[in-house]
Amino acid sequence: MKRGPQSFLKGAAVLVGAVAVVKVLGALFKIPLSWILTPVGSAYFGSAYSLYFPIYSLSAAGFPTAVARMVSAEYARGRFGDVRELHRVSVRMFTLLGICAFGLMMALSWPFANLAVRTGPQTVLPAVWALAPCALFCSLISIYRGLYEGLRNMTPTAVSQIIEAAGKLIFGLGLCWGMSAAAAREYAQSGTVWGIAQPSAEYARLAALPACAAGAVFGVTIGSMLSFFFLMIYYRKNGDGITEAELRRAPPPLPAKTLRRELIRTAVPIALGSLAVNLSTLVDTALLNQRLTDLMQQMPAALLQIYGKLLPEEVVRMQSVPSFLYGCYTNANTLFMLVPTVTQAFAMSALPSVTAAWASGSHKRLEACILSVIRLSAMITLPMGLGLSFMAEPVCRLLFGAQNAPEITGRILSILGIASIFSALSTPVQSMLQAVGRVDLPVKFLFGGLVVKSILNYVLVGDLRFQVMGAAIGTLVCYALILLCSLYALNRETGIRLHLASLLGKPLLAGTLSAVTAKLVWRQMLAVRVPSAAATLVGIGAAALLYFICVLLLGILTKEDMKSLSRRKSPKSLEKSGRIV
């Protein structure tokens, strides 16, 4: 393996590049998938993830971050034997955790299905069962991603993410389409779907959706399996880059029991923090479906009047309005998650860099890294979030089509777009808190935000004035509180003053100008009878061009940032320069 850690910005650039490819592949997966599944099938698809994410958080999400932090710290101290021993410990731990996660997901499938879809739990079960093995493979993936991220080599993580996304696209979309085509052929031949008679083609299409969602989800499992095999082969071929001479010079490694105890102590708060984030999805699934069902039972005429002809007739006849509205929320949430996913790359790259700076005791080096992370995260986050909010309905119409109620999804996304800014900025900030040893603070803030979100969801979604929009408002308030608390804590723990006006002011100005430009160009194009899809693309292109110009004119991206992208520093040169970026 090539020696010399990647700089923070270069590591982030590798991951952001991978995220860009993954998101393109994800769009090629999710957009045709939404056409096949419609909002009802998307609700089944999203419900399976609602159970998977909390279990994944406990079994895998916290441990690669903990491994990366410990590997980075020990590597910076020259304790190479501890790095090797940590890897051996993580192999045993993660394998056991993955097996337990798979078993837990299977055991909870029936209770969860009854909670998520009270009118038909069997519609969710196939997707949950198809996703269960993914919990095992993602835990195994964490063995290698944590090691290489701690060594500040983001390339294996980036490539494995692309392989995972490609597998999901090829197998998931193929299996989903195959299930839909098989159901259509059976109905055409015998008037049944999976052996059950259906009164009309609309009913037949709805009856096929649980199996279609399961096929799509199983593609996700296959993608994670392929990603694991790549990482395992990469490690066997390249190793960790530590030489025998370095091992001989290094102090004797700590006992495996000591490292295991330290790994658990570090990982548990991180895992609980990730659990809090993913429990919010479970809260949305349970409370949103429950409260919308309550509204539909108590005030059906009033709820239907709000949405009028935006709801398909067969959805109303089959009493699937709550699932349809939840499916619209799921589609909007998919776009909401685009922004935090990008800054997750900054968080992953920042953690070992900030850890090394913190371990070295260099205040100057630590300050340079922290300010760069926040500034560059804002540069990416603000235009994306504002753009989603301003262009919510046109984007939903472009991506999901008229059959997926873009008007409803767009209303939800207009709020979630702003919420994505707070969510995305909080991700690297919390990663830096973990890097300086306060792994307990993010979990406290996240669980506090989850409580606020749960209360707002229950109250607002059950109010006819807000209904499904209440969940979006709850998400916005939740992440705004989390970000404010995280920034305050980072300032207090590091003693570094965060001048938010200077860090966020220019990206906010440029992002606002770009988002307004996109909306104005889109409207002008529609006024001259340009098709909606073309008008949306032209508006987005104009906004991107304007933002690029603003980045150059306002100096949002500095010359030093550009230089760090083209160089690979050794640990010694990093110490001498006092810079991480």
Share the mean pLDDT of the chain: 82
Find the mean pLDDT for residues 210-214. Answer: 91
What residues contact residue 366 under an 8 Å CB cut-off, 6+ apart? 354, 357, 358, 436, 494, 496
Q: What are phi and psi of 193, to 5 degrees?
A: -130, 120
pLDDT for residue 576: 39
Residue 581 has pLDDT above 60, yes or no: no
Which position has the token pair 């262009």? 391
According to DSSP, the residues that pair with 79 across neighbouring strands are none
Query: CA 99 to CA 139: how far, in whole Å?
Result: 9
Secondary structure of residue 293 in the 3-state scheme: helix
The winner for highest mean pLDDT among 5-14, 43-52, 382-391 is: 382-391
Q: Which one is predicted more confidently, 561 or 449? A: 449
Residue ranges covered by each domain of the chain: 8-577
> How large a percentage of the chain has pLDDT more than 90?
25
Find the mean pLDDT for residues 53-58. Answer: 73
User: Residue 386 — very low, low, confident or very high, per pLDDT cuts 50/70/90?
Assistant: very high
Find the mean pLDDT for residues 76-94. Answer: 85
Which position has the token pair 């590091």? 494
According to DSSP, the residues that pair with 193 across neighbouring strands are 196
Secondary structure of residue 439 in the 3-state scheme: coil
Query: CA 143 to CA 140: how far, in whole Å?
Result: 6
According to DSSP, the residues that pair with 196 across neighbouring strands are 193
Q: What is the pLDDT of residues 111-139, one digit of tens each?
A: 887 776 655 667 788 888 999 999 899 88
Containing H/E element for 192? strand 192-193
pLDDT for residue 121: 62
How far apart are the two ends of the chain, measured CA to CA in Å? Answer: 22
Query: CA 226 to CA 238: how far, in whole Å?
Result: 18
According to DSSP, the residues that pair with 100 across neighbouring strands are none
Q: What is the pLDDT of residues 144-173, one digit of tens each?
A: 888 888 887 888 888 998 999 999 999 999
Q: What is the pLDDT of residues 452-478, one digit of tens each?
A: 998 998 899 888 888 899 999 999 999
pLDDT for residue 117: 61
User: Residue 28 — very low, low, confident or very high, per pLDDT cuts 50/70/90?
Assistant: confident
